[in-house]
Structure formats: C-alpha cells, structure tokens
Structure 1
Amino acid sequence: MEISLHPVAASDAAWLIERHHVLYAQDEGFDDSFGALVAQIVTEFLATRIDGREQGWIAWRDGRRLGSIFVVQRDAQVAKLRLFLLEPEARGTGLAQRMLEQAFGFARAAGYAQIVLWTHESHRAAGRLYARNGFALVESEPQHSFGQDVVAQTWHRNL
C-alpha cells in the first residue's frame, strides 16, 4: 500500500513522544530528558501552531505511522525543521526525501527565505541527506546532552 502524508493531529502526540523517546534511547542511548523535550515541543506546537506558517506531517501506511516532520517559525524569514523521524523499516526507502520535499514546499509557500535544523553528528545518514538537499553545516559543537557526549550540529539552507 502507498505511503501518505497527513497533517499532524492531536491524536498523534502520544506516538510522536513515545517513538522519539524509544528510538533515540535505543539508537543513541539518550536518557528520559530527550522524551521530555519532545513532549514539550509537541505540546507547544499543538497549542500555539501558527496557521499557514507552521505544519507537521505524519507518514502513514496500512494504518501505521512511519515517520514525522515539522516546519515551525524561528522568525519571519527563517523556518526550523523539527521532529524529523523515520521508523527503522522506512529508512532507505526514499520516504525521508519525500518528507523533506514536503517541508521545503510548505516553507517556500509560507514565505520563508531559509530553513534551519539542529541535529547530532552521530546521525550520519541524516547529515548525508541534508547535504544532498542543499543544507550547509554552519556550526558543530561538542556538548553533553540527554545523558550523552554528543556533537551538536546546526545546518542552514536557502529556499
């Protein structure tokens, strides 16, 4: 069955929080503070989303969620990509590219000139995807976050 992208709904909140928490704990060793951060991001988005300027999507196939991606406003000209996640079974299928293109199209239509994101160096496949899609790595900084020593990265792309 075909994968479809649907706007995020309040009924997606528990899945978003749980899957980010579980997958990042499993893959990166992140502690509970990461799940708490995701819960805060999701709660704020659902409560304060700016119509026409912010949107999130959930990828679905056969009644099952496969991933998420969000575009939120950082400021009038800059959008921020957030909560980009794929279930392990959906990785390497082209879905990540499709979701990025959805986010770029929305951000352009909303009038943003640039899109930025924050991630970790350990997400090498994601970094390659971002680089292939015109993002430039503009900052890389060692930190201790979510119970782990990480290298935080900031990426920018003009729209």
Structure 2
Amino acid sequence: MKTIALDDITIRTQLLPGDLGYVAYLHGDLYTKENGYGLSFESYVLSGLGEFGHDYDPGKDRIWMCEHEGKKVGFLLAQHRPAAVQLRYFIFLPEYRGVGLGKKLMTGFIDFMKQCGVSHAYLWTTDEQLAAISLYTRFGFKLTEEKPSRSFGKPLTERRYDLHLPKEGK
C-alpha cells in the first residue's frame, strides 16, 4: 500500500450538501466496528449533526473535511455555543491515523477559536478514545467531568474536557 503523506490530503472548510450525512455514516460504521457502539450512538450523532445543520453560521461554526484522492477521509467540527465553542465529530478512517492530520486539525481548531475571539472550548468523549484523549491533552484540554453512561449500547464513562486559552494581550 502506498504511504499516505500529510501534504496529499486536502482540507476543506466549506460545508457542502452530503457532508453531515457522511459524518453520521462514518461514526456509525467505525464506532460499531472498533468499539461495539450500536444504533443508539449513530442516533446520538445524527441528532447533534441535525442541530448543527439547523443552527449553522459560517461566521461562528467551522468544519474541516479531509479529502484524499477524491475520497472523504476525516472530519472535525467546531460548533458555537454560548461563550464557548464545542469540538465535535473528530474522526478519521483508520489508514489516515498517525500521519499528523490530527495535529493539523487541532491547530486549525485553536486558530479558529482565536480568529473568533473565543477563549473557551470543550468536548465530550469516552474513556475508550485513548489516542484522541492524548491529542486533546497535548493541546491543553483538561478533564473536567466524568459520568457513567450506557447511552451507546454498553457501559462506559463519558468524559468532558475543557480548554481555556489565555486572553489576547495577557
């Protein structure tokens, strides 16, 4: 198999028809195969993506759609919230993990926060997402809440991580 280079992957920030449906499909497919999550997880993702689509404001929200050779291979979403931005739906096809794409998108996410003048971000994940958690914490996210959950077809722990950027000029 050909080695995938980070420079060969394009990142688009314009939301297009079909993007949100693809993200729901990718989550449902990969998280079932890799973590045993069921239809309840895909329903959860669909609900959140529906909310995002209805409230989408290109000045306050951003998507990063990663594409390689005409194929959608990964995604990240920044959703505006009161006084914060929520990081959501961060996912890559397995063969695109480990090439530096996660770091590139996290840098883009933080740059977007600064561009919008937002200093607080948060995300929810599960205790099973160890690689993602490692990336989040390297970028300054701190664990702020944990709660047991059976929402995704099996028992696990949902975790909230928060990021507070220093105010500009301080």
Which is worse superposed, 111-120 or 33-42? 33-42
Computing the radius of gyration over CA atoms, which structure comes out larger, 1 or 2?
A: 2
Query: Gaps (5+ residues) in structure 1?
Result: none
C-alpha RMSD of matched pairs (Å): 1.2
Q: Counterpart of 1:134 in 2: which secondary structure?
A: coil
Contact 1:10 1:46 in 2 (8 A): no
Query: Which amino acid in the other structure matches residue 9 of structure 1?
Result: L
Instruction: Report how many aligned residue pairs link the two structures.
Output: 158
Task: Report what 1:130 is aligned to.
Answer: 136
Length-normalised TM-score, structure 1: 0.94
Superposed, 1:2-81 pairs within 5 Å as 2-7=8-13, 8-75=15-82, 77-81=83-87
1:100 is aligned with what amino acid? Answer: M
Is 1:146 equivalent to 2:152 in the alignment?
yes
Instruction: List structure 1 segments (4+ residues) > 4 angstroms apart after TM superposition.
Output: none
- Once the two structures are superposed, residues 85-140 of structure 1 have per-residue CA deviations (whole angstroms, 9 ceiling, x without a partner) of 11101111110110111111112111211110000011011111111111111112
Q: Which runs of 5+ in 2 are unaligned?
A: 1-6, 166-170
How far off is 1:46 after superposition? 2.0
